[in-house]
């Protein structure tokens, strides 16, 4: 296709001239082909203003070439940015006709446009991050800036409701972005145009007041500048002095912030002195000149040359008292600083600096991009440079929509279940399915930035263990784990209830040690697993208890208790146990069933041929055998000496975590060099249960150990058990 329309030919010549003026190089044939392609693609479309639609991509390309001239790829992408969204052409065709690079930029702009369409901006910072999470090439943002700027310039042709929505979106998302990129001029215009449609009454009033005193302002600027110009001429510096009113939205914000009317806002305009010099120290010379002529306001001085803003903005700002006592802001900067301030990212294409930049997230983009330009080898050529220019910001986060358009931030690789719990715990709890972008997907699907997610719930649905394998958010993991643990606790409690009823029916009694022994014999990992198996009817409890009854009958025929195999070390070497208050020298030993320790209330039981067995007064076995013959009970007391060690037993329950065994051991051995006889720990899901036997001097020694263990993080309970 050749361009025959005189109007189109004039537009093309204008665009080519602008590109040649501002860009380092231009692929003219490719740009002309993109120009022709865009005309053809949009030939049947009109804008809301009634103009041919092609005027829009042309103006967007002109803004790119003028305001932030980065490279010809960005300009070509601007010409084609609406082709995929508004016509039958797709990105594959653009990749074939032009390049994959251009197709990717066009695709990025299209996706951004789709995300924000029809959404009400309620969480602006999240929307800004959403946009960034979708952008892999900074040029996508630049084209979108230009697209938005031209749309704002022609916003008068759309309906009022759409005007307000687009203006709000521009003010809260695109203007702050432009500022982050260092695009000062674009930011100001976006803010003022947004202000015009969001608060037209205030906008018109401020514009009218500024216009009405224009001549007076121009005269004042001349009066203020003349003494400065005289000094600048003496120093033979090349300069330009610009006096301009501050943009309208800035004045409005000052009125609101200071709670003052327009007439009381004195610093309504700024004088900018731009030096054509490579020496930044000339700026400080000018500062000295200004301060000699006019009195500076001490708390209104900012040196952004020594310490640039995060978007790489550099300038000196000072406010002085001018003629007639009016406050005037003076900005002093070099030509290069001024271009960086107004054209941001694109200005770094031509300028190189030695200052190293750090790459710490959003605040330092421009420095980071500048470093890429600065360090890219010339041998790499343009292709290598642009490869380095790819961005992947916010790579650890995604931003997804609710059906109502609210935005939720989630970690990367999140699933619909994570999203459901982010909405509300109850939504996650009863989540049974999900729709992503209108299509039903599995619950373990991976979500991506920009997805719109709808959760399907059922009151009969509950979390299950499989969810724990794919959820990534802490909240979802915690709720699912809590539910699984509660479900298991319910089984355990039910099993214990069944156990208690059964042993009561069989007229049996079990202490904790006997239960532990039974559980071990039945090859269960823990008492909890034993109770759970009972609740799930995995064992025949009647058979187990019947075997226990038979064993008890045999045991009753030999009422004497066995010696404690661990306690023989403590026979008479503590001066002898006191029987009826006297050290009688009678043979004695400690009962295995209750393991008494000095300090425990104890009582003796006379056995045939083995002297006296020492029991704790609370011992169940002692109570049982004493019912048959209480005459064998004798009063015994502990002696005063405490040089002998006794074996104590503890049952510990808690949350399983790395290092818990080390924590338990340290708590014991670090107290009076206590020796551990054995530790047996069993884990189940997120909990552990264990038995510890240790050597102690007396009950106080054991109690101190119990207190120390209770202080360990994650320990739920510590109890002494009898049989060891």
The 3-state DSSP class for residue 529 equals helix
DSSP 532-580: HHHHTT-S-HHHHHHHHHHHHHHHHTS-SPPB-TT-TT-SSTTS-PEET
**303/332 Cα distance (integer angstroms):** 10
Question: Is the torsion defined by CA of 614, 616, 620, 622 positive or negative?
Answer: positive
Q: Are 438 and 403 in contact (CB under 8 A)?
A: no
Which DSSP state fits 2?
Answer: -
The 3-state DSSP class for residue 267 equals coil
Active site residue 359: no
Give me 103's structure tokens: 């197709």
221-251: buried (b, 16+ CB within 10 Å) or exposed (e) per residue?
Answer: beebbeebeebbeeeebebebebebbbbbbb
**347/24 Cα distance (integer angstroms):** 12
Q: Which residue from 685, 692, 680 is spatially nearest to 657, judged by alpha carbons?
A: 685
Q: Which residue from 163, 165, 147 is spatially nearest to 155, judged by alpha carbons?
A: 163
Give the strand pairing for 453-457 and 439-441. Answer: unpaired
3-state helix, strand and coil shares in percent for the chain, rounded to the nearest 5: 50, 15, 30
Active site residue 85: yes
Question: Residue 242: CB partners within 8 Å, gap ≥ 6?
Answer: 271, 272, 274
Q: Which residue from 121, 56, 44 is spatially nearest to 88, judged by alpha carbons?
A: 44
The single residue of 85, 172, 267, 489 carrying the catalytic annotation is 85
Q: At what angle do helices 55-67 and 28-41 cross, to 10 degrees?
A: 150
The single residue of 40, 86, 205, 642 carrying the catalytic annotation is 86
**228/531 Cα distance (integer angstroms):** 92
Q: Are 480 and 515 in contact (CB under 8 A)?
A: no
614: number of Cβ within 10 Å = 27
Catalytic positions: 85-86
């Amino acid at each position: 296709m050749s361009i025959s329309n005189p109007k189109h030919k004039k537009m093309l010549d204008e665009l080519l001239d602008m590109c040649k003026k501002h860009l380092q190089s231009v692929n003219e044939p490719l740009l002309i082909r993109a120009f022709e392609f865009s005309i053809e693609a949009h030939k049947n479309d009109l804008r809301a203003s009634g103009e041919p639609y092609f005027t829009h991509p042309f103006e967007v390309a002109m803004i790119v070439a003028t305001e932030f001239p980065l490279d010809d790829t960005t300009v070509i992408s601007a010409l084609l940015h609406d082709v995929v969204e508004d016509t039958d052409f797709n990105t594959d065709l653009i990749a074939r006709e032009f390049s994959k690079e251009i197709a990717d930029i066009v695709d990025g702009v299209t996706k951004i446009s789709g995300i924000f369409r029809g959404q009400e901006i309620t969480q602006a910072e999240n929307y800004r991050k959403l946009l960034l999470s979708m952008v892999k090439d900074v040029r996508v943002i630049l084209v979108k800036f230009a697209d938005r700027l031209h749309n704002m310039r022609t916003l008068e042709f759309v309906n009022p409701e759409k005007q307000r929505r687009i203006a709000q979106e521009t003010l809260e998302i695109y203007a702050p972005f432009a500022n982050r990129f260092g695009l000062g001029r674009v930011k100001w215009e976006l803010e003022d145009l947004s202000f015009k449609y969001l608060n037209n009454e205030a906008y018109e009033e401020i514009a009218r007041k500024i216009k009405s005193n224009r001549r007076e302002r121009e005269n004042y600027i001349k009066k203020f500048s003349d003494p400065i110009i005289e000094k600048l001429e003496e120093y033979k510096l090349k300069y330009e002095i610009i006096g301009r009113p501050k943009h309208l939205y800035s004045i409005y914000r000052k009125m609101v912030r200071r709670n003052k009317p327009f007439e009381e806002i004195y610093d309504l305009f700024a004088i900018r002195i731009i030096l054509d010099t490579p020496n930044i120290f000339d700026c400080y010379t000018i500062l000295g000149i200004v301060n000699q002529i006019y009195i500076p306001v001490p708390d209104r001085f900012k040196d952004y040359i020594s310490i640039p803003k995060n978007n790489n903005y550099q300038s000196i700002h000072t406010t002085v008292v001018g003629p007639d006592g009016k406050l005037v802001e003076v900005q002093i900067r070099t030509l290069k600083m001024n271009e960086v301030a107004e054209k941001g990212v694109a200005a770094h294409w031509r300028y190189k600096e030695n200052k190293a930049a750090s790459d710490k997230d959003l605040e330092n983009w421009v420095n980071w991009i500048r470093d890429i330009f600065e360090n890219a080898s010339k041998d790499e050529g343009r292709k290598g440079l642009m490869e380095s220019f790819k961005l992947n910001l916010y790579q650890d986060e995604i931003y997804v929509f609710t059906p109502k358009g609210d935005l939720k931030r989630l970690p990367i690789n999140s699933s619909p279940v994570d999203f459901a719990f982010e909405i509300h715990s109850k939504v996650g709890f009863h989540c049974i399915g999900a729709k992503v972008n209108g299509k039903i997907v599995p619950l373990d699907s991976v979500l991506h930035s920009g997805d719109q997610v709808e959760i399907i719930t059922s009151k009969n649905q509950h979390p299950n263990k499989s969810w724990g394998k794919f959820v990534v958010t802490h909240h979802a993991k915690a709720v699912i784990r809590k539910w699984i643990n509660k479900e298991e606790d319910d089984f355990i409690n039910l099993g214990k209830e069944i156990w208690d009823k059964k042993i009561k029916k069989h007229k049996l009694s079990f202490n904790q040690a006997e239960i532990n022994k039974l559980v071990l014999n039945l090859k269960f990992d823990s008492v909890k697993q034993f109770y759970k198996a009972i609740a799930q009817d995995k064992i025949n409890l009647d058979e187990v208890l019947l075997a226990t009854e038979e064993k008890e009958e045999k045991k009753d025929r030999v009422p004497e208790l066995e010696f404690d195999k661990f306690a023989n070390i403590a026979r008479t070497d503590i001066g002898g146990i006191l029987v009826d208050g006297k050290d009688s020298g009678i043979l004695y030993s400690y009962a295995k069933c209750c393991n008494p320790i000095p300090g425990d209330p104890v009582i003796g039981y006379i056995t045939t041929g083995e002297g006296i067995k020492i029991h704790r007064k609370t011992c169940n076995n002692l109570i049982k055998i004493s019912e048959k013959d209480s005459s064998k009970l004798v009063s015994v007391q502990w002696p005063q000496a405490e040089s002998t060690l006794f074996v104590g037993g503890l049952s510990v329950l808690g949350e399983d975590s790395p290092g818990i065994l080390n924590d338990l051991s340290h708590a014991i051995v670090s107290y009076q060099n206590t020796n551990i006889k054995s530790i047996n720990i069993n884990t189940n899901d997120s909990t552990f249960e264990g038995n510890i036997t240790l050597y102690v001097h007396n009950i106080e020694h054991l109690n101190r150990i119990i207190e120390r263990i209770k202080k360990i993080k994650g320990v739920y309970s510590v109890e002494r058990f009898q049989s060891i």
